[in-house]
Amino acid sequence: LVSRDFHPASTQVRVGPVIIGDGQPPVMMAGPCSIESEAQMLASARIVRDAGATILRGGAFKPRTGPHSFQGLGVEGLKLLRQAGDAVGLPVVTEVMRIGQLEDVCRYADLLQIGARNMQNFDLLKEVGRLRVPVLLKRGMSATIEEFLAAAEYIVAEGNDQLILCERGIRTFETATRNTLDLSVVPLVRQLSHLPIIVDPSHATGRRPLVPVMAQAALVCGAHGLMVEVHHDPAHALCDGAQSLDGPQFARLMGQLAQLTAFL
Ligand code: PEP
Ligand code: MN
């Protein structure tokens, strides 16, 4: 069902007023890794809106590697995300980690994110497939393209074709970057599937200085958009500060991307 052989026309996904897919300008989803407080969320939301992002991100349920790291604010965080999105007029995306969180996440979010660690949580995939809410599916860190598309198939097979794929880097022998950004997946998925695909250069590199250049590279490769972590004060971020852009850096990136897309 996700294959272009079966469905030749490209699928467009609608998130609030934003349309993602072929023939649309690249979407920019941006915001902090984690929702930390009302003030932090609002400051980050203003930064990304003022620079031209059209979807606000923020994690309330965080899949942290260790149990002693900040786990997110949960439902309280969802409310702060919604409040910040409404304050700046942007739809919001946030991660759902398990079926039990779906009701709360659907109440507050416009786009449901399935994180890399849950790409093969088949029960969760089936459940979001039964909803009529757009979904962002991130590639598992060790998933092949075939496995990535098979995971997408679970969602579409239940009737939900409002699905965006996201390349966020894969695990390789290289440790200098957090993950290895597999940009070849972008043209390949565009060829194999009718679903839109975006790139997350923040989790892919783990390093702030690499984010802008890889963001540009992703658009050159044909990505339908980007997801970028932005924090008003990255040095004090509770999660992923090292890969987060601050306000001026994000505004500069948006300027560079505007110049680039004029050529594409
Ligand atoms: C995230 O986007 O906050 C996140 C945890 O990403 P990933 O699932 O790609 O690691
Ligand atoms: Mn993060």
**DSSP per position, 12-77:** -EEETTEEESTTSPPEEEEE-SB---HHHHHHHHHHHHHHT-SEEE-BSS---SSTTS----THHH
One digit per residue, the tens of pLDDT, for the chain of length 264 reads 999 999 999 999 999 999 999 999 999 999 999 999 999 999 999 999 999 999 999 999 999 999 999 999 999 999 999 999 999 999 999 999 999 999 999 999 999 999 999 999 999 999 999 999 999 999 999 999 999 999 999 999 999 999 999 999 999 999 999 999 999 999 999 999 999 999 999 999 999 999 999 999 999 999 999 999 999 999 999 999 999 999 999 999 999 999 999 999
Domains present along the chain, CATH in parentheses: 13-263 (3.20.20.70)
How far away, in angstroms, is 33 Cα from ligand 2 center?
A: 4
Ligand 1 lining (C-beta closer than 6 Å) = 33, 59, 63, 95, 115-117, 138, 168, 200, 203
CB neighbour burial string for 137-152, b if at least 16 within 10 angstroms, e if fewer: bbbbbebebeebbbbb
DSSP state of 236: G
Closest ligand to the CA of 244: 2
Three-state SS across 175-204?
CCCCCECCCCHHHHHHHHECCCEEECHHHH
Query: What is residue 222's predicted lDDT score, i.e. its pLDDT?
Result: 98
Ligand 1 atom closest to Cα of 168?
9
- Identify the residue whose tokens are 């459940």: 127
Radius of gyration of the chain measured on its C-alpha atoms = 17
Query: What is residue 145's predicted lDDT score, i.e. its pLDDT?
Result: 98
Query: What is residue 193's predicted lDDT score, i.e. its pLDDT?
Result: 98
Complex confidence, ipTM: 0.99
How far away, in angstroms, is 224 Cα from ligand 2 center?
A: 20
Of 53, 30, 52, 27, nearest in space to 41 by CA: 30
Of 115, 16, 15, 11, nearest in space to 59 by CA: 115
Pocket test residue of 96, 124, 168 for ligand 1, highest count of atoms within 8 A of CB: 168
Residue 48 tokens read as: 């990304």
Query: What is residue 187's predicted lDDT score, i.e. its pLDDT?
Result: 98
Residue nearest (by alpha carbon) to ligand 1 atom 6: 115
Within 8 A by CB and 6+ apart from 159, the residues are 129, 130
Residue nearest (by alpha carbon) to ligand 1 atom 4: 115
